[in-house]
Amino acid sequence: MRAVVRTLRAKLPTTKILLLAIFPRGEKPTDPQRLAIVEINRSLASFGDGKFIQYLDLGPQFLNADGIVSKDAMPDFLHPNQRGYKIGPMPCAPG
């Protein structure tokens, strides 16, 4: 990911980049994949410079207050459904 960001910055130095965090997966906060994603997202967050590279983590919006992935937004705890695609600062639709 760092190489992709570097390449974009080199080829398009005035382009603004929105770097999204990896969405949570697995139902519970203790899921091994979820724990790995937390670490990866920490690394991705460090790419943001506040000027040309903005980091955005929408993951918490997919979670209930207890950290469980909402079945209303991700029924299989991995893929957003129609409601899940509406989460975030700008609504979008699959496909």
Cα separation, 65 vs 89, in Å, equals 20
Half-sphere exposure of 60 (CA within 13 A, CB side): 4
Q: Which fold has domain 2-86?
A: Rossmann fold (3.40.50)
pLDDT for 90 equals: 54
Cα separation, 3 vs 77, in Å, equals 29
pLDDT for 95 equals: 46
How confident is the prediction along the chain (95 residues), in pLDDT tens digits per residue? 999 999 999 999 999 999 999 999 999 999 999 999 999 999 999 999 989 999 999 999 999 999 999 999 999 999 999 999 888 765 454 54
| Boundaries of every domain in the chain | 2-86
Helix, strand, coil percentages in the chain from 3-state DSSP, rounded to 5: 35, 10, 55
pLDDT for 89 equals: 65
**Is this structure's pTM higher than 0.75?**
yes
- Please report, to the nearest 10 degrees, the dihedral formed by the alpha carbons of residues 95, 91, 88, 35 taken in order: -10
Cα separation, 20 vs 89, in Å, equals 12
Phi and psi, residue 55, nearest 5°: -100, 135
